[in-house]
Amino acid sequence: MRKLFIAVALLCASCAGEPKQEIPLLDKSAFEQKVGDATTSLYTLRGGDLVMQVTDFGGRIVSLWTPDKDGKMGDVAVGHATIGDYINAPVSRVVGAAVGPVANRIGRGEFEIDGKKYTLELNNNGNTIHSGPKGFDQVVWKVAEQSANSIKFVYESPDGEFGFPGNRKVEMIYTLTPENELAISYKLTTDAATPVNMTNHSFFNLGEEGSSVCGYIMSANASHYTPVDENTLPTGEIAPVEGTPYDFRTAHAIGDNIEAAGGYDNNFVIDNYDGSVKSAVTVYDPVTGRTMEVLTDQPGIQIYSAGSWTGKSIGKYGNALGKYASLALETQKFPDAMHHENFPSIIVRPDKPYTHTCIYRFGVK
C-alpha cells in the first residue's frame, strides 16, 4: 500500500493545556510529476484554525482541515492523494480545481462576439462544459507569491487556447484568514473581447469522507433560479423558487426534496445582487457541528450534490465516493450567458479586467 502521508502539522488546541493534535498532511512527493513542460508540486497554508494544501496543477485545493464542534480536526475537501489520481482517475475532472476561462455550460459549444463566431469542442450532451475537454483545470499554474497563509497563482493563456479569443493573464489568490475563511480572488486581463466566468470547483463534505450530504441543513439567499432543459442547459427563464424543490430560503435538509429535484445541479440567483460581497449559501452538518457559509460578489451560485457519482472512484482516505457524497458550491455568473440577453454578460474587454471574490467561511455550532 502506497504511503500517503509523511508530513505532520502540529496545531495547538484553542484551550490552554489541551494536547496538540496531529494533522496528517499529504505527501508532497506524491504531487511532483512532469505535466507538459512543467513539474507540479504541493503547497501548505495555515491561517486561523485552518490548514490547506493546494497543487499548482489546476490550482487545485486537495485538502482543507477545519475543527468540528469538539475541536477535532477533519479534512472537508473531497479529493485524491496523488497527482496521478487527479490526472488519470479523478472522481471528477474538475475536483478542487480553478475552472475557466468559462465554467459551466455553453450551449452548442458556440458563441459570437462583435459579429465573429467561435466554435468550441463539445463534451456535454452536444454542449460545452467547463471550457471543453481542457481548461484552466488542466494546466500547471505558476506560483508568483507565497506566504504562510496565502498563495498567488498566475497563468497566461494565449489567444485561441481552448478555442477562446484574446491573450489573457489570470491572477488567482488563495488566502486563509484569522476568521477561518478561505478567501479566493480572481483577476483576468485580456487584449481582446473574450468570455470569462471562472469558479472554484471544490467538493465539500463536512463529515466523514464518503458519507452523504443529504442530512446537512442548507439555506440559500436566492428567491429565483435558472431552470434547465433535459441536458442541464438553461432555458433562459429566471423563475421563482417558491413551490419548487429549489426553495432553500428557509433552512432545511438537503435531502428533503433532492429526489424530486433529480439531484441538485442548478444555478441559484443571489438576491439583491449589486456587485458587493454578499452571503449566498449556508450549510450546517448536525453530526459534526461544522458550518460553511459561502459569500461572493457574483450574481449566481451553482449547487451540485454529486448525483452522478457512482462509488467507483476512491477518495484520499480510501472510501468510495458515491452518490450525494459531496457538495459543490460554485460562485459564478449564469451558465450559457452568451445566449441569453437577460443574463448578466460574461464578456470581458481590454478596458475593464474581470474580477471575482469567493469566500468560504467555516465555523461550528
- The per-residue pLDDT for range 41-90, each reduced to its tens digit, is 999 999 999 999 999 999 999 999 999 999 999 999 999 999 999 999 78
32 assigned to active site: no
pLDDT digits over 173-219, tens only?
999 999 999 999 999 999 999 999 999 999 999 999 999 999 999 99
Determine the length of the chain: 365
According to DSSP, residue 18 is labeled P
Q: Tell me the C-alpha distance between 163 and 178, whole Å.
A: 40
pLDDT in tens, 228-253: 999 999 999 999 999 999 999 999 99
- CATH at 124: 2.70.98.10
Q: Is the pLDDT of residue 6 over 60?
A: no
Chain-centroid distance of CA 29 in Å reads 24
The active-site residue out of 171, 181, 209, 330 is 330
* Own/partner pairs, 109-116, CB within 8 angstroms, 24+ separation: 111/195, 111/338, 111/339, 112/338, 113/165, 113/193, 113/194, 113/195, 113/347, 114/193, 116/165
Determine the Cα–Cα distance for residues 92 and 107; give it in Å rounded to an integer.
Answer: 21
Average pLDDT over residues 343-363: 98
In total, how many domains does the chain have? 1
Indicate the pLDDT class of residue 21, thresholds 50, 70 and 90: confident
Q: Are 311 and 91 in contact (CB under 8 A)?
A: no
Residue 1 has pLDDT above 50, yes or no: no
Report helix, strand or coil for 306.
coil
Q: Which of 80, 201, 224, 356 is catalytic?
A: 201
Q: Is 259 a catalytic residue?
A: no
Q: d(Cα 338, Cα 208) in Å, to the nearest integer?
A: 39
Flag whether pLDDT at 302 surpasses 50. Answer: yes
| pLDDT on residue 20 | 61
Domain extent for 313: 5-364
Whole-angstrom CA distances from 138 to 15, 70, 83, 97, 100 are: 42, 38, 12, 9, 10
Q: What ranges make up the beta strands (E) of 101-193?
A: 105-106, 110-113, 116-119, 128-129, 142-146, 150-157, 168-176, 181-190
For the cut 50, the answer to whether the pLDDT of residue 3 exceeds it is no
